[in-house]
């Protein structure tokens, strides 16, 4: 079904995308936002064939896909609204002062798109982080054309989403180079895209190996370009003593649910839980065990992911000091993910860095610590993470200040008494943590601030009103918040 796009055709698509950029970057935020709502309308209008295609290509259940479709539409709409509110442009105006020595110029700053963006979609979110997903929506919001490298796991789903975007482009009267698909089941097409001189940024969601390879390729180009690779993590959960003692069973149930959600196929899956050797631990472990062994195995996204999961799980379980707590029996269910939880002592965890690696699927490693110092040592030994969760009562927090400070340095999102699966699409979301969770932790890939990845500031010095972009004009015709001479205001900017 999926036929690789020939290299000369990729070159043509990039060239057309670049030409579209020259038009699109000049279109003001209100019209760009209206186009994004049009894309959302077209996605909403896709009929049951979308869910059917995705179900057959990803094994994800219908209800989950329906929710993910709604989330995808919400991403387009909320990013469009953040754009048209002006929030994303962060306009700054410093007006002239001719009387100063030397005379102070009039300087006004806004954001423009970087140029053509190459997006590599994820297998585990065929809607929300693939063809019409968050990277595509945020690049378009920033004023950038997008070339999507279609995920080979769901080509039909991708084609349907691409049609929705293309229909919106046509209806909005925008240049049709604004969005294009490239199919490549191997590496060649994607590498060619990332190496193309007219491609100016890359969005990627997937494995560490894939993201790091693109980062390396992009940083070795004659003109290096930014790569925003979200590469997952083990999302450690730290359970503290009082919480364990008073809520062992409830916490075990919640952890099991988060661990097994979506057959563990989330970049925010909580793969490691550090628990104290303290009253309540047996109750916690017993409850967790019963939750896991009762779980029915479910099909994973595709057979390759299921076999990689089985292999990594086996490797991890064979490490010194790792003991199985609970494991779903491997029945005759090929392609399914069988949940498992194991325990290891903190000292052994700290001595073997392989134990901290991600096992993509419903596998949890419980690291049992004896003292607060040992918990802090675990925290300090961690790689960068998308999220860290703390399960604690008020006294636990007060007794573990150093631990919590150490955890803050390791993640992009710090949760209290919650689990990391379920990433809210909102302004305050930071989905991006220190390396190796992502390649650039100064940005998020979820929420309207994701737009900022694909834009750069530009200052206009001493330009008269008529030649300025609308957001910089004296009268503030877009009615947006602007920082004028250091103060936020919606008032017109005075000419000096």
**Active-site positions?**
230, 267
- The reply on whether position 395 binds a second copy by CB under 8 A is no
- The reply on whether position 266 binds a second copy by CB under 8 A is no
- The reply on whether position 210 binds a second copy by CB under 8 A is no
Q: Which among 243, 236, 279, 491 has a CA at the least distance from the CA of 379?
A: 236
Q: Which among 124, 180, 183 has a CA at the least distance from the CA of 1?
A: 183
- The reply on whether position 391 binds a second copy by CB under 8 A is no
Q: Closest CB to a second copy among 326 and 423?
A: 423
- Tokens representing 423 are 């990433």
Binding test (CB under 8 A) with a second copy, winner from 7, 70, 377, 415: 415
* Interface segment toward a second copy; rule CB under 8 A; list 43-51, 254-262, 299-307, 413-421: 413-421
Which residues in 55-84 contact a second copy (CB under 8 A)? Answer: 81-82
- The reply on whether position 467 binds a second copy by CB under 8 A is yes
Q: Closest CB to a second copy among 223 and 282?
A: 223
Q: How far is the CB of 64 from a second copy (least distance, A)?
A: 13
What is the residue-wise DSSP string for 97-139? BTTSSSPBPPEEEEEEE-SEEEEE--SS-TTTTSTTSHHHHHH
Mark residues 164-203: x for contact with a second copy by CB under 8 A, - for none.
----------------------------------------
Query: What phi and psi, each to the nearest 5 degrees, are found at residue 15?
Result: -60, -45
Distance CA 432, CA 444 (A): 5
Please tell me whether residue 179 adopts helix, strand or coil conformation.
strand
Q: Which among 132, 157, 139 has a CA at the least distance from the CA of 50?
A: 157
Residues 6+ apart with CB under 8 A from 303: 334, 335
Mark residues 417-436: x for contact with a second copy by CB under 8 A, - for none.
xx---x-x-xxxxx-x-xxx
Q: Closest CB to a second copy among 330 and 373?
A: 373
What is the residue-wise DSSP string for 131-167? TTSHHHHHHHHTT--EEEE--TT-HHHHHHHHHHHHH
Q: How far is the CB of 287 from a second copy (least distance, A)?
A: 22
- The reply on whether position 317 binds a second copy by CB under 8 A is no
Q: Closest CB to a second copy among 9 and 81?
A: 81
What are the C-alpha distances in Å from 359 to residues 32, 113, 304, 380, 411? 40, 37, 14, 21, 19
Q: Closest CB to a second copy among 366 and 391?
A: 391
- The reply on whether position 26 binds a second copy by CB under 8 A is yes
# binding residues, a second copy (CB under 8 A):
73
- The reply on whether position 98 binds a second copy by CB under 8 A is no
Distance CA 50, CA 59 (A): 13
Q: How far is the CB of 362 from a second copy (least distance, A)?
A: 20
Please tell me whether residue 181 adopts helix, strand or coil conformation.
strand
Q: Which among 252, 219, 214, 247 has a CA at the least distance from the CA of 231?
A: 214
- The reply on whether position 304 binds a second copy by CB under 8 A is no
Which residues in 110-129 contact a second copy (CB under 8 A)? Answer: 112, 114-115
Which residues in 323-362 contact a second copy (CB under 8 A)? Answer: none
What are the C-alpha distances in Å from 41 to residues 38, 119, 156? 5, 22, 20
Q: Closest CB to a second copy among 133 and 226?
A: 226
What are the C-alpha distances in Å from 189 to residues 119, 185, 332, 426? 12, 8, 37, 33
Residues 6+ apart with CB under 8 A from 466: none
Q: What is the enclosing helix (H) or strand (E) of 24? A: helix 7-24
- The reply on whether position 364 binds a second copy by CB under 8 A is no
**Cα distance between the two ends of the chain:** 63
Q: How far is the CB of 336 from a second copy (least distance, A)?
A: 26
Q: How far is the CB of 228 from a second copy (least distance, A)?
A: 11
Distance CA 330, CA 240 (A): 33
Which residues in 218-257 contact a second copy (CB under 8 A)? Answer: 219, 223-224, 226
- Tokens representing 195 are 């190496």
Q: How far is the CB of 309 from a second copy (least distance, A)?
A: 26
- The reply on whether position 92 binds a second copy by CB under 8 A is yes
Distance CA 430, CA 96 (A): 37
- The reply on whether position 459 binds a second copy by CB under 8 A is yes
Binding test (CB under 8 A) with a second copy, winner from 1, 209, 329, 488: 488
- Tokens representing 108 are 């006004």
Q: How far is the CB of 272 from a second copy (least distance, A)?
A: 18
* Interface segment toward a second copy; rule CB under 8 A; list 318-326, 329-337, 354-362, 404-412: 404-412
Q: How far is the CB of 411 from a second copy (least distance, A)?
A: 7
Binding test (CB under 8 A) with a second copy, winner from 312, 460, 470, 474: 460
Q: Closest CB to a second copy among 277 and 441?
A: 441
- The reply on whether position 3 binds a second copy by CB under 8 A is no
What is the residue-wise DSSP string for 403-448? HHHHHHTTEEEEEESS-S-S---STT-----TTTTBS-TTS-SSSG
């Amino acid at each position: 079904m999926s036929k690789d796009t020939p290299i000369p055709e990729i070159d043509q698509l990039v060239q057309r995308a670049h030409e579209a950029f020259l038009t699109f970057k000049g279109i003001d935020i209100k019209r760009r936002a209206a186009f994004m709502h049009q894309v959302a309308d077209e996605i909403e209008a896709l009929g049951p064939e979308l869910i059917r295609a995705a179900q057959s290509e990803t094994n994800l259940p219908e209800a989950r896909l329906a929710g993910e479709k709604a989330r995808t539409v919400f991403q387009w709409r909320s990013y469009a609204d953040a754009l048209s509110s002006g929030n994303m442009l962060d306009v700054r105006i410093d007006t002239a002062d001719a009387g100063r020595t030397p005379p102070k110029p009039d300087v006004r700053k806004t954001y423009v798109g970087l140029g053509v963006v190459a997006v590599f979609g994820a297998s585990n979110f065929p809607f929300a982080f693939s063809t019409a997903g968050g990277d595509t929506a945020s690049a378009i919001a920033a004023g950038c054309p997008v070339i999507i490298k279609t995920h080979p796991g769901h080509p039909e789903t991708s084609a349907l989403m691409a049609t929705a975007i293309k229909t919106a482009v046509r209806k909005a009267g925008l240049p049709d180079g604004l969005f294009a698909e490239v199919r490549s089941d191997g590496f060649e097409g994607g590498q060619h895209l990332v190496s193309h001189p007219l491609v100016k940024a890359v969005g990627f969601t997937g494995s560490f190996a894939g993201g790091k390879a693109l980062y390396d390729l992009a940083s070795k180009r004659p003109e290096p370009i930014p790569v925003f690779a979200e590469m997952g993590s083990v999302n450690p959960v730290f359970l503290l003593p009082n919480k364990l003692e008073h809520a062992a069973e409830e916490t075990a149930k919640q952890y099991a649910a988060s661990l097994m959600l979506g057959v563990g196929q989330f970049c925010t899956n909580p793969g490691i839980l550090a628990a104290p050797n303290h009253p309540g631990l047996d109750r916690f472990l017993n409850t967790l065990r019963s939750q896991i062994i009762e779980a029915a195995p479910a099909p994973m996204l595709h057979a390759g992911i299921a076999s990689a999961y089985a292999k990594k799980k086996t490797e991890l379980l064979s490490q010194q000091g790792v003991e199985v707590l609970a494991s779903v029996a491997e029945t005759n269910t090929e392609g399914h993910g069988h949940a498992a939880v194991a325990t290891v002592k903190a000292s052994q965890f700290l001595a073997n860095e392989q134990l901290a690696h991600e096992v993509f699927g419903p596998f949890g490693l419980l690291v049992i610590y004896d003292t607060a110092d040992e918990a802090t040592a675990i925290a300090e030994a961690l790689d960068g993470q998308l999220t860290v969760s703390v399960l604690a009562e008020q006294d636990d927090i007060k007794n573990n200040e150093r631990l919590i400070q150490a955890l803050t340095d390791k993640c992009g999102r710090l949760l209290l008494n919650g689990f990391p699966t379920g990433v809210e699409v909102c302004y305050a979301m930071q989905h991006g943590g220190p390396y190796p969770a992502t390649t650039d932790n100064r940005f998020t890939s979820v929420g309207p601030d994701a737009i900022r990845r694909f834009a750069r500031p530009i200052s206009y010095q001493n330009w008269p009103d008529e030649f300025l972009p609308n957001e910089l004009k004296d009268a503030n015709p877009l009615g947006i918040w602007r920082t004028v001479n250091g103060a936020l205001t919606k008032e017109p900017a005075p000419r000096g």
